[in-house]
Amino acid sequence: MNVVVCVKQIPDPADPGELDPNTKTLKRDVKLILDESDSYGVEMALQLVDTAGGGEVTLVSMAPNNEVSGLRTALAMGAAKAVLVSDDALAGSDALGTSKVLAKAIERAGEADLVITATESSDGYTGTVPEQVAELLGLPSITFAKSIAVDGGTVKVQRQTEAGYDDVESPTPALISVTAGVVEPRYPSFKGIMAAKSKPVDEVTLSDLGVDAGTVGWAGGGQEIVEISAAEEREAGTVVEDDGEGFQKIVDYLAELKVI
Amino acid sequence: MTVSKIWVFAEATDGKVSTTTLEMLAKAGELADTVECVTVAGDDVAAELGAHGASKVYTVGGTDGKLIGPIVSSAIAGAVEGGNAPDALLIATSYGGRDVAGRLSVKLDAPVISNVVDIVDRDGALAGVEPVFGGTTNVYTKFTGDKVGIFLVRPKSFAAAEEPSGDAAATEELAAGELGNTGAATVTNRFVEESTGPSLDDAAVVVSGGRGLGEQDKFEMVEDLAKLLGAAPGASRAIVDAGWVPYSYQVGQTGKVVKPTVYIAAGISGATQHLVGMKGSKNIIAINKDAEAPIFSVADLGIVGDVHKVMPALIEALQNR
């Protein structure tokens, strides 16, 4: 079974950086890492291929400057190869533009039984890319998967809902988005890290994919950031060291608020 | 400024319209001359939607056992292509809502503005306001083309009408086109997870735990305190990812947005994604041993201390009252 996993390489969320005042987008001139949300999809894909007893996991990513730091992490976990799209014309791409590029890159990656994504990235948080990619590829999709099993040509998913979860089935090929925590991502082994250095990364541009540069990036966005401003701040409150009576301050405060 | 017509995608459970739908209807009424809804809930929600300002409800059928994304997006795209296009479409950031917005955006080749907490007029166009960096910065984005503006709206961004009084809305069927392969996913079973006490969405008090609890078993302290206060238990993304508690407990950008009267954060440092989900709480109490933790920048009362000492003492004191 072959699985394609969409992975995003993002600035370290622990140091999220700042917005470029000219382009009004996140500055991305830092080293990028694999979005932790995507590590769950990579792990799930590896386990599904293992269970199937054959096939491989291919990664698809879009990043500036041919950045591969995050891809190497996922390759070290066990993915076989990757397609990386880098092109100056991609700067400023919104979720729809990103999806157009990912859909073409997934087609380039070859026949897949499943396409797996995270539910959303940890930097953009738009949460629409999985369905957009599925629609562009004409695939059925099941978002917010908390477990996935493949049985012949059918994928069975437990899908998170507001009330609990649904069992959902779909014929393959299909696109599935996985929630964080769906599996425990493995740590790359030393052997895996060494092997990842020589795994193939197919570095392509928009013209390689046959994507018109006018339909993505700033040119194709159909939206414009018109203002960035500081949000109303909360006033800082009282912060006290616990001297053994900290709990009492909470009790008093709750009483003051008439909660108790 | 007002636009001519806004559509709201209305979600309902067992005939009861979701709170976020009512919130969006209130906002849509401020922005547009005409507010209409699209729903898969059937005719029985027309009275409630009408009371909240919708003049018409388009009902999309044929969803039995199917996921709604392909069906609803197909129906809306068909209407737009047939000339019945709203200026903008408001969709809740829910499981189904995100699916509808994503599919529809491709069908209409129109962008989506996500994570919207407000919609305002900028230069004669509607602009979505999206908080970034833990809610410290607001980004205003407007649509530039002539496509239908799709806004994905975060729950609790607007206040629903307090005394809804409009007439029941007229209903009209809206057909979904041929879905082909995209509509092939089928729901075979539904499971409702039993929960006791108030839900995260509605609770007046929320007690959340984070990585500072140290280990999964210590989450019991959060549940015990929640029980004593009639509160809903919540969690940071870190311990949800670690598998300590279900995803449904998660408070934050990727989880639930909560606005209770009191929010108690136990052992939560306050990563930006968590702050976005809870900083709208009226009163915030934080317990954390790191005096530099970002949670203290939003807390009304911050206790710099060991959560394993403060929480048991707090629980005991409340039990003794």
- pLDDT tens digits along A214-224: 999 988 888 99
How confident is the model over B47-66, as a mean pLDDT? 94
> pLDDT value at position B228?
96
- Best mutation target, A96, A114, A158, to test chain B (most B CBs within 10 A): A96
Nearest by CB: B111 against A142, A222, A253: A222
Secondary structure element (H or E) that encloses residue B186, with its range: strand B186-192
How confident is the model over B23-32, as a mean pLDDT? 97
Pairwise CA distance, residues A123 & B35, whole Å: 33
Sign of the CA dihedral B193, B199, B200, B202? positive
**Greater pLDDT, A160 or A83:** A83
> pLDDT value at position B36?
98
Answer whether residue A27 shows pLDDT above 70: no
Task: Give how far Cα A113 sits from Cα of A52, A103, B16, Å.
Answer: 11, 15, 39
Answer whether residue A28 shows pLDDT above 70: no
Residues of A in contact with B189 (CB under 8 A): 166-167
Convert the pLDDT of each residue in B105-116 to its tens digit: 999 999 999 999
Count CB neighbours of A189 within 10 A: 12
Residue where the block lists tokens 């990028």: A32
Residues of B in contact with A221 (CB under 8 A): 111, 144
Tokens of B55: 């003049």
Residues 115-134 of B with CB under 8 A from A: 115, 122-123, 127, 131-133
Report CB contact under 8 Å: B103, A246. no
CA distance B71 to chain A (A): 12
Task: Give how far Cα B223 sits from Cα of A170, A214, B264, B311, Å.
Answer: 37, 53, 12, 11
How confident is the model over A85-97, as a mean pLDDT? 94
CA distance B38 to chain A (A): 19
Residues 24-53 of B with CB under 8 A from A: none
Q: Which residue of A has its CA nearest to B246?
A: A181
Answer whether residue B1 shows pLDDT above 60: no
How confident is the model over B118-127, as a mean pLDDT? 91
Judged by a CB distance cut-off of 8 A, whether residue B263 touches chain A is no
Q: Which residue of A has its CA nearest to B137?
A: A230
Task: Give how far Cα B310 sits from Cα of B173, B204, B239, B270, B298, Å.
Answer: 58, 22, 20, 18, 20
DSSP, residue by residue, chain A: --EEEE--EEE-TTS---B-TTT-SB---S-EEE-HHHHHHHHHHHHHHHHHTS--EEEEEE-GGG--HHHHHHHHHT--EEEEE--GGGTT--HHHHHHHHHHHHHHT---SEEEEESS-TTT----HHHHHHHHHT--EEEEEEEEEEETTEEEEEEE-SSEEEEEEEESSEEEEE-TTSS-PPPPPHHHHHHHTTS-EEEE-HHHHT--GGGSHHHH-SEEEEEEEEPPPPPP-EEEE-SS-HHHHHHHHHHHTT--
**Greater pLDDT, A12 or B196:** A12
Angle at B79 between CA B78 and CA B81, to 5 degrees: 65
pLDDT bin (cut points 50, 70, 90) of residue A29 is low
The mean pLDDT value of chain A amounts to 92
Answer whether residue B20 shows pLDDT above 80: yes
Convert the pLDDT of each residue in B271-289 to its tens digit: 888 998 998 899 999 999 9
Nearest by CB: A242 against B205, B300, B304: B304
Q: Which residue of B has its CA nearest to A165?
A: B191
> pLDDT value at position B37?
98
Convert the pLDDT of each residue in A127-138 to its tens digit: 999 999 999 999
Q: Which of B117-126, B188-197, B231-240 has the lowest mean pLDDT?
A: B188-197
Answer whether residue B104 shows pLDDT above 70: yes
CA distance A158 to chain B (A): 9
The mean pLDDT value of chain B amounts to 93
Answer whether residue B2 shows pLDDT above 90: no
Residues of A in contact with B184 (CB under 8 A): 140, 170-171, 174
How confident is the model over A74-97, as a mean pLDDT? 96
Pairwise CA distance, residues B103 & B150, whole Å: 11
Convert the pLDDT of each residue in A43-57 to its tens digit: 999 999 999 999 999
- Best mutation target, B221, B248, B254, to test chain A (most A CBs within 10 A): B254
Q: Which residue of A has its CA nearest to B141?
A: A225
Nearest by CB: A250 against B237, B247, B301: B301
Judged by a CB distance cut-off of 8 A, whether residue B65 touches chain A is no
Judged by a CB distance cut-off of 8 A, whether residue B198 touches chain A is no
| A236 Cβ contact partners less than 8 Å away, ≥ 6 residues apart | B296, B297
Report CB contact under 8 Å: B103, A131. yes
Answer whether residue A147 shows pLDDT above 80: yes
> pLDDT value at position B224?
96
How confident is the model over B158-186, as a mean pLDDT? 94
Q: Which of A16-25, B53-62, B208-217, B227-236 has the lowest mean pLDDT?
A: A16-25
How confident is the model over A221-242, as a mean pLDDT? 88
> pLDDT value at position A17?
65
Residues 168-197 of B with CB under 8 A from A: 180-193
Please tell me what DSSP assigns to residue B119: E
pLDDT bin (cut points 50, 70, 90) of residue A26 is low
Report CB contact under 8 Å: B106, A136. yes
Pairwise CA distance, residues A52 & A4, whole Å: 15
pLDDT bin (cut points 50, 70, 90) of residue A16 is low
> pLDDT value at position A144?
93
Burial annotation A8-38 (CB, 10 A radius, 16+ → b, else e):
bbbbebeebeebeeeebebebeeebbbbebb
| A179 Cβ contact partners less than 8 Å away, ≥ 6 residues apart | A40, A119, A144, A145, A146, A160, B247
Nearest residue to B37 via CA among B76, B3, B68: B76
Answer whether residue B168 shows pLDDT above 60: yes
Of all residues in chain A, the percent with pLDDT exceeding 90 is 76
Cβ pairs A/B, distance under 8 A? 276
- Best mutation target, B66, B74, B94, B181, to test chain A (most A CBs within 10 A): B181
Judged by a CB distance cut-off of 8 A, whether residue B140 touches chain A is yes
Q: Which residue of B has its CA nearest to A94?
A: B111
DSSP, residue by residue, A76-112: HHT--EEEEE--GGGTT--HHHHHHHHHHHHHHT---
Residues of B in contact with A164 (CB under 8 A): 190-193, 248
CA distance A140 to chain B (A): 4
> pLDDT value at position A112?
97
Convert the pLDDT of each residue in B207-263 to its tens digit: 999 999 999 999 999 999 999 999 999 999 889 878 898 888 999 877 888 999 999
How confident is the model over A9-26, as a mean pLDDT? 73
> pLDDT value at position B197?
79
How confident is the model over A167-184, as a mean pLDDT? 93
Residues of A in contact with B152 (CB under 8 A): 126-128
pTM, whole model, 2 decimals? 0.90
Q: Going by DSSP bridges, is the β-strand pair B112-116/B88-92 parallel, antiparallel, or unpaired?
A: unpaired
Pairwise CA distance, residues A205 & B321, whole Å: 68
Residues of A in contact with B303 (CB under 8 A): 239-240, 242, 246-247, 249-250
Q: What are phi and psi of B183, to 5 degrees?
A: -100, 20
Residue A4 in contact with residue A64, Cβ under 8 Å? no
Strand order in the sheet with A238-241: A238-241, B301-304, B283-288, B262-266, B205-209, B232-235
How confident is the model over A110-139, as a mean pLDDT? 94
How confident is the model over A241-258, as a mean pLDDT? 96
Nearest by CB: A239 against B132, B204, B296: B296
